[in-house]
Structure 1
Amino acid sequence: MRRTRAVAATAVAVSLLAAGATACGGGTADHGGGTNTAPKELTYWASNQGPDLAADRAALGPELKKFEERTGIRVKLEVVPWSDLLNRILAATASGQGPDVLNIGNTWSASLQATGALLPWDAENFDAIGGKDRFVESAIGAAGAAGQDPAAVPLYSMAYALYYNKKMFQEAGIEKPPATWDEMVTTGRKLSKDGKWALGAEGSNPSNNIHQAFVFAKQHGADFFDAAGRPTFDGPDAVDAVKQYVDLMAKDGIIAPGNAEYAQNQSLQDFAQGRTAMVLWQSAASSFKSHGMKEGDWGVAPVPVPAGGTPGTGRTTNSMVAGINLAVFKNTDNIDGSLKFVKFMTSDEEQKILNKTYGSVPPVKAAQSDPASGDDDLAVLRTTLATSAAPLPQVPQESQFETAVGTAVKELFADAAAGRPVTTDSVRAKLTKAQQQMAS
């Protein structure tokens, strides 16, 4: 555990606490801190990556035992649900009491970096775990603000893809998944009938909302922050992007109105049970299996891009750089043990084991599978991360941004489900309100 210390950026952590938790990725917890009187012991907060907390404990237990046998360091594991994780971390940064090592959603890296509570990964610390160049560049790009030493180390990399139900496509006479948004609407209308719908969404899940809105915004040539880090949520391109996403329900009619009330993972259940034919999700294979699907039941393709484009940088970005990072609290009493643990978790061997368990892509280059291995899911995700994914804004206000814009999209989905018009003006008004919340 931790020894108490004063955190210089307590005000940052308190303001972030007010924002609430929206994460990328995936997750009972003792809320106490304490003093680490055993240098041969580490406390590790792991995010919930599997179908439930027990599954994560079962997956991680043998690996942590392996670490203990090799180093003599016992790891006290706590798997923390995503609904609690950010607030738990921020409380720890404010109080100085928390774990030695912890998982963070990579989109939080810059926000948590601004608290000053996390160990910076300078050249010396990277050398202690084998070097910075072992990691995929895009994953390092989502580990902290530009121009600063990263606040964490990539652990699991994920990307969004379009998953589709092969049987439903075959029954509808559709030969291939849509590659553009125009094709998505045309294909979607063929699939949305007889009580079934083309595309699943989670309108009540701000985290998923912001991930989708970010991709649409990049495809419209919009950024949610300017070069100086000021929010530009209600610019015309950002407004058009959010409207296009919500219009998949409001105008195009390929998302069920009931999806406006869906929270985390409900769209996956619908997809697995054949109620929807497609879902946009990050590294979803293990989740589908936990809901009873079998290999071969689904296909995977890149997220659609604007007509006339192919996946790539700029306007044809089709995923955020999703994933989980591994961080160390700067005030740990066991920095040597913490570095050894990070080195173990990011070793080639463990990267292959852990990422296979969770259906994610190893951010360690040497641990990635052969492109000719026949794993179509991972091939699409790996290509997306390498060529057409972009990190969410690495700014100190990132977690407030996720909450503010994600909630604006949630309210717009509620309007669409209730039959209220979703117009350019109404979208702009919601995004202006979100931008004003950031200023306050």
Structure 2
Amino acid sequence: MRSIRAAAVGAVTMSLALAASACGGGSSSGGSDDSPKTLTYWASNQGASVAIDKQVLQPELDKFEKQSGIKVKLEVVPWSDLLNRILTATTSGQGPDVLNIGNTWSASLQATGALLPWDTKNFGRIGGKDRFVDSALGSTGADGKDPAAVPLYSMAYALYYNKEIFAEAGIDKPPATWDELIADGRKIQAKGKSVLGAEGANVSENIHHVFVFAKQHGADFFTADGKPDFTNDKIVAAVQQYVDLMAKDKVIPTGDAEYAQNQSVSDFAKGKQAMLLWQSAAANLKSQGMSEDKYGIAPVPVQSGAPGTGTQINSMVAGINIAVFKNSHNIDGATDFVKFMTSDEEQTILNKAYSSIPPVRNAQGDAAFNTPSNSVLKDTLAKSAAALPQVASESQFETAVGTAVKELFAYAAGGRAVTADSVKAALEKAQQQMPAA
């Protein structure tokens, strides 16, 4: 996502979207009288800028037009606007034919009824469901329902560390646990360097990290029947542990409480901070002038032991899905475009460009996805990543809890105490913002 998503504050409520689900999305190219040889496509901003995305995507869209005779009108939508644009499209009927969505939104957007379900027949039109890796399919919609979208780019969080700063501090390997990271931080600070970059004002980054901490505490934000459970003791402890990296452990600088737009990536690339928790950051770091030989990549720390299943989860299943508005005036062409974008060849080209991992099994065999750094990401996705809750209120959950964490970071930066009680109060406020079942 950036590839990282900025906070997508849902000004359009899901209840409104549900009420208007009969409208669905629609072709913004003007209606049924338009040429069936034209599709509109909203792509998410994956690269360092919208201009870079256009440079990556347009040659591929031209290739599709040459093969199919169908012209694709491209719009790259910033993450700060994408969710609201999509929700507005579901209520107005004025949307694209094909669009990218953050994979964590799949169940929420599925609940609007606006997206084409990917049943056995539709998956068959793009080569079959078994072409895709299981972890990516786990973030395509609610359990027991046909997926609302198809995996396009897969990503995972990793720990990026500056080799030179580590060497200067006498650290010979990256930390495997949070205790080790804090201990290494003391050595790094003794050399006058900042330790760990974060985006305290980035709502999406916040929810991704506290979701992982919750898993490491053996907790879930929702009960088995889909009800929010934000204030249970394990969730409170998980959120407090993350915020304490700034408030108590002092390894995240207080200035990072205001970061929301890749500033921590920039600081890391410039050698201002020794470590960074980010998802599939290679392309982003390269665009900031940092060569791959300057940093190492390791799994995100866990509480103890090695990353794995259960409480050793160390990443959410990050990524982008591609979806079709089901009232598109060219469903066949839209489906053909999804088939093209998820073909082995295009998966290799596009995921190389964005330093992401193909969710298509065959494309993962390319040498580019088997470098030491990409092997860490692939291994994480296969063994120690979990999908965010696939519930209809997922987008509201991201906004409410992510904002609560943002406020807690602001407290920490301002010198206010971050206690179990203050964390619980913030989470209770977030839970009250969730829609009624």
Q: Paired residue for 2:187?
A: 190
Retained in 1: the 8 A contact 2:43–2:99?
yes
Q: Do 1:34 and 1:98's aligned partners in 2 also have CA atoms closer than 8 Å?
A: no
Contact 2:200/2:260 (CA < 8 Å) preserved in 1? yes
Q: 2:415 aligns with which of 411, 415, 419?
A: 419
Q: Distance in 1 between matches of 2:355 and 2:256?
A: 25
Answering whether residue 239 of structure 2 is matched by residue 242 of structure 1, we say yes
- Do structure 1's residue 306 and structure 2's residue 308 form an aligned pair? no
AA in 2 matched with 1:288:
L
Structure 2 residue 381 is the aligned partner of structure 1 residue 395 = no
TM-score when normalising by structure 2? 0.93
Partner of 2:47: 50
Tell me, in whole angstroms, the C-alpha distance in 2 between the residues paired with 1:219 and 1:55: 36
Q: Which residue of the partner structure matches residue 132 of structure 1? A: 129
Long gaps (5+) in structure 2? 1-11, 20-26
Q: How does 1:28-427 map to 2 (within 5 A)?
A: 34-35=30-31, 37-193=34-190, 196-307=193-304, 309-369=305-365, 375-427=371-423
Cα displacement string for residues 352-406 of structure 1 (whole angstroms, at most 9, x for unaligned residues): 0000000000000000035797511210000000000000000000000000000
Q: Is the alpha carbon distance of 1:217 and 1:33 closer, same or farther for their aligned partners in structure 2, counting shifts above 3 Å?
A: farther
Letter of the 2:265 partner, please give it. L
Q: 1:146 to 1:434 in 2, by over 3 A?
A: same
Q: Which amino acid aligns with 1:408?
A: A
Decide whether aligned partners of structure 1 residues 374 and 153 sit closer, same or farther in structure 2, where only a CA change above 3 A counts.
closer
In 2, Cα distance between equivalents of 1:162 and 1:369: 24
Measured in 2, the distance between the counterparts of 1:340 and 1:372 equals 26
Contact kept? 1:13, 1:94, Cα under 8 Å: no
**Cα distance in 1 for residues equivalent to 2:368 and 2:355:** 17
Q: Distance in 1 between matches of 2:138 and 2:270?
A: 37
Query: Taking structure 1 as reference, are residues 207 and 372 closer, same or farther at Cα in structure 2, changes over 3 Å only?
Result: closer
Q: CA deviation at 1:67?
A: 0.3
Give the match's secondary structure for 1:300: strand
CA RMSD of aligned residues (A): 1.7
Summarize the Cα distance change of 1:323–1:263 in structure 2 as closer, same or farther, 3 Å threshold. same
Q: Distance in 2 between matches of 1:413 and 1:168?
A: 26
Number of equivalent positions: 417
> Partners of 2:316 and 2:431 in 1: how far apart?
21
Structure 2 vs 1, CA of residues 11 and 424 (structure 1 numbering), >3 Å: closer, same or farther? closer
Structure 2: how far apart are the matches of 1:150 and 1:390? 17
Letter in 1 for 2:432: Q
Q: Evaluate the alpha carbon distance shift between residue 119 and residue 429 of structure 1 in structure 2; reply closer, same or farther with a 3 A threshold.
A: same
Letter in 2 for 1:14: L
Question: Partners of 1:312 and 1:16 in 2: how far apart?
Answer: 37
| More displaced 10-residue stretch of structure 1: 314-323 or 33-42 | 33-42
- Confirm or deny: 8 A CA contact 1:13 1:91 kept in the other structure: no
Report if the CA contact (8 A) 2:156-2:279 is conserved. yes
Shift of 1:13: 5.7
Q: Deviations over 1:33-57 (max 9, x none)?
A: 7325110010000000000000000
Shift of 1:196: 2.5
1:159, 1:385 within 8 Å by CA — same for their partners in 2? yes
Q: Counterparts of 2:162 and 2:178 in 1: how far apart (Å)?
A: 18
Unaligned residue ranges in structure 1 (runs of 5+) = 1-9, 18-30
Residues 42 and 76, structure 1, Cα contact 8 Å, conserved in 2: yes
**Percent same amino acid among aligned pairs?**
68
TM-score (norm 1): 0.92
Q: CA deviation at 1:12?
A: 3.1
Of 216-225 and 164-173, the range deviating more from structure 2:
164-173
Are 1:12 and 2:14 counterparts?
A: yes
- Matched to 2:317, the amino acid is V
